[in-house]
Structure 1
Amino acid sequence: MRLPPARGAAESELPTRVVETGHGPLEFRLDRRGPETVVIFHGGHMRAGLALGEEPFTQAGCSLLVPSRPGYGRTPVTTGGSAEGFADATAALCARLGVTRVTAVVGVSGGGPTAVAMTARHPVLVERLILQSAVGPVPWPDRRTYLGAHVVFAPRTEPATWALVHALVRHAPDAALRMLLRDLTVLPVGKVVAGLQSEHRDAAIALFTRMRSGHGFLNDLHDFNGGPDLRCLSADVEQPSLVIASRHDGAVPFAHAQALAAALRRAELLESLADSHFVWFGDDWPAIAARIRGFLRP
C-alpha cells in the first residue's frame, strides 16, 4: 500500500519507508549499524524521520529501528489501534525485517506506554526497557492540556498551529523557545532558555521547526488513561528496566517515573538534573548516556 509523503516533511529529514504489517501500514526508519538493534518510540509531535537523543545507541554501535506511532508521519491512526496493538504491529515489523532480538526498547515521553507494552507482550524478542521522560501509570494529561490540545491540535487547526510555530521559530527563535518550553519545565522559563548551551539551543530550534502532530497527539490523549492497564503491563515486564526523568519536567511530572520504577519488577530510577522535559539537554546527560551504554551491555 503506497501512501503520500508526510505533510510538511522537511527536506533534511531522515529517510523512512512504509510497509504493511498485518496490523496496518507502518512508517519506520531503519539505520543498520551492527548486529544489536534498539527500537525507539519517540514522543508526541515526533515521527520516524526526526531524531532526538539517539546518540548513546549509535555510539554503542546499535542499529536503530524507529517507527512513527499511530497518527504521526505516514502511520495511520488506525494502525494497531492502541499502545498494545501498535506494540504488536512493531513486533510484526521486526519479524518482517529479520530482527529476531531487540537489545532494548526505548520509550520517550508519549512513546513510553508503547515501549512498556512491547516489552511486556514480547519477552522473547525484547531484552531490556529504557524509558526517558515517559508517561507512566499516573493520570495524564491534566485537564488544561487535554482541553487545550483539542483546540490547537484538532484536525482543522493543527496545520495552522504548526505553521505559526514554525514561522515564529524561524523569525523570533528566542520568543519561540520561551513559548514552547514554558509547558515543558516547572522552573522559570527565562532561566531555562538562558541556560541552554548553544548546541542544545540549536537542536531545540531545529526540532521545533520540523515537528507536526497529525492525528497522533489527540490519539495519544485518548489512548493513555494512566490507569490499571499500564500498571498491569508494567508489572508484567520481567526484563531489566532503566527509567530516566527530571524533577523539573513540566510536561510529564516526575511522579510518572516514580510510578514506573515502582511497577516494573527490575527497574532502576535514574534522576536527571535537566531543567526541562528534554533530559538530553541536561549538564549530566554525558554521564546518563554512559550509563545507558553500560546498561545495553551489562
Structure 2
Amino acid sequence: MGEIRSTKTADLDRGVVEYRFDQRGGATVVIFHGGHMNAGLALGEDVFAEAGYSVLVLSRPGYGRTPLTTGTTASGFSEVTHSLCEYLGITRVAAVVGVSAGGPTAVATAARYPELVERVVLQSAVGPLPWPDARTRLAARLAFSPATERITWSAVRAIMRAAPNSGLRLLLGDLAVLPASRVLAALSADDRRTLIELFCRMRSGRGFRNDLTARRDSLGEVAQPTLVIASRNDGSVPFAHAEALATTIQHSTLLESKAESHFIWFGQDWAALSARIRDFLAN
C-alpha cells in the first residue's frame, strides 16, 4: 500500500488524464481517490485485487499528472472517465468506487453512464451536504495554495521522519472525532508504517483546492445498487454524508464502520467489511 506504483497518461479529446490500470483478467473496478492522493498511490485496493478484479485508478483534476483543466467538476470528470474506458477498450465496469472527495465523481459517473457502470461503492465519501466546514475550508486554502502546498508537504515529511508518532497524532487529529491518541493506539505497527509512508507520499497539487470549491454541478440520480460505508468517528467527512447518500440513492445499503477515523481500511472490522464488499460485487 505504501509504494508508488507506475502510471501512464492518455491524451484524450477531453484532456490529458493520468491513470493506472492493473489488469488481472477479471472485470474492472474504477477507483476515484480522495484528497491528496493520485493514481500512483494505492489505498484500500486489496479487497478488489484479491477478488481478481482489474483495477483502474484515475488521478482526478489537479492531482498527479492530470491537469486541473481535465474535467474540473465531478460531472465533467465522469465524461473523461467514460472516454478513458473507451480508450482502454472497457465496455462494462463492475463498480465505480468513490473514496472521500472522490465520492461525487463516482456518483456522477454511475448516474450519467448506467450502461457502463454496474454498481457503486462509496467509502467515507463526500455526499450531497455542504463540505467542508468554513474553518477547515479556510485552513486548507492557506495550507494548500500554489505558494504553500509544496512547503506544507515538505514539513509533513520532515515531521514523519523525525517524530513519526507525533506526526501521526497531528494528522489523525483532523481525521477523527476521537482523541488522536486513542486513534493512534488502535493502529497496529504495520498500519502505522503504512500511514507514515502514505503521508510522506501525498501531494495536493491544485486538486485539493478544487475539491473545496462550493460549486456543485448536478450529479444526477443513481439507479445502480450502491454500498455506502462510513464511520461515525470520521472527523473529515461527517457520518451525515453517508446517511444522506443512503437516503437519496434508491437502491443503497449503508454499512457503519467501527473505524476510529476517516481511514476505514484500518478499522478492526475491515476484514468483515471487505467480505461484504466482495459479496455485494458478486451478487
Q: Which of the five TM-score ranges fits, normalised by the shorter chain?
A: over 0.9
Q: 1:262 deviation in Å? A: 0.2
TM-score when scaled to structure 1? 0.93
SS in 1 for 2:41: coil
Does the CA-based 8 Å contact 2:20-2:58 persist in structure 1?
Answer: yes
Amino acid at match of 2:120: L
Does the CA-based 8 Å contact 2:75-2:218 persist in structure 1?
Answer: no
1:248 to 215, 218, 233: 233
1:229 paired residue number: 218
Q: 1:150 deviation in Å? A: 1.1
2:273 paired residue number: 288
Residue 269 (str. 1) matches residue 260 (str. 2):
no
2:74 paired residue number: 83
Amino acid at match of 2:97: V
Measure the CA separation in 2 of the matches of 1:62 and 1:25. Answer: 25
Q: 1:223 deviation in Å? A: 5.6
Q: Which runs of 4+ in 1 moved over 4 A?
A: none
Amino acid at match of 1:168: I
Measure the CA separation in 2 of the matches of 1:107 and 1:94. Answer: 17
Q: 1:229 deviation in Å? A: 2.9
Mapping of residues 21-170 of structure 1, within 5 Å:
21-170=12-161
Corresponding residue pairs, total: 282
- Range with greater deviation from structure 2 (199-208 or 94-103): 199-208
SS in 2 for 1:103: strand
Measure the CA separation in 2 of the matches of 1:152 and 1:249. Answer: 21
Q: 1:224 deviation in Å? A: 5.5
Q: Label 1:87 to 1:112 Cα distance change in 2 as closer, same or farther (>3 A).
A: same
TM-score when scaled to structure 2? 0.98
Q: C-alpha deviations, 1:179-221, integer Å up to 9, x for none?
A: 0000100001111111111121111111001000000000001
Measure the CA separation in 2 of the matches of 1:87 and 1:229. Answer: 12
Q: Label 1:284 to 1:12 Cα distance change in 2 as closer, same or farther (>3 A).
A: closer
- Aligned identity (percent) is 59
Measure the CA separation in 1 of the matches of 2:23 and 2:214. Answer: 31
Measure the CA separation in 1 of the matches of 2:236 and 2:225. Answer: 26
Q: C-alpha deviations, 1:31-71, integer Å up to 9, x for none?
A: 00023000000100000000000011001100000000000
Structure 1, unaligned runs of 5 or more? 1-10
SS in 1 for 2:236: coil
Does the CA-based 8 Å contact 1:82-1:223 persist in structure 2?
Answer: no
Q: Label 1:223 to 1:60 Cα distance change in 2 as closer, same or farther (>3 A).
A: farther
1:208 paired residue number: 199
Measure the CA separation in 1 of the matches of 2:71 and 2:177. Answer: 34
Measure the CA separation in 1 of the matches of 2:45 and 2:91. Answer: 21
Measure the CA separation in 2 of the matches of 1:102 and 1:223. Answer: 30
Residue 176 (str. 1) matches residue 167 (str. 2):
yes
2:185 paired residue number: 194
Does the CA-based 8 Å contact 1:14-1:49 persist in structure 2?
Answer: yes
Does the CA-based 8 Å contact 1:83-1:223 persist in structure 2?
Answer: no
Residue 257 (str. 1) matches residue 242 (str. 2):
yes
Measure the CA separation in 2 of the matches of 1:12 and 1:61. Answer: 20
Amino acid at match of 1:139: P
Measure the CA separation in 2 of the matches of 1:12 and 1:103. Answer: 26
Does the CA-based 8 Å contact 2:222-2:249 persist in structure 1?
Answer: yes
Amino acid at match of 1:229: S
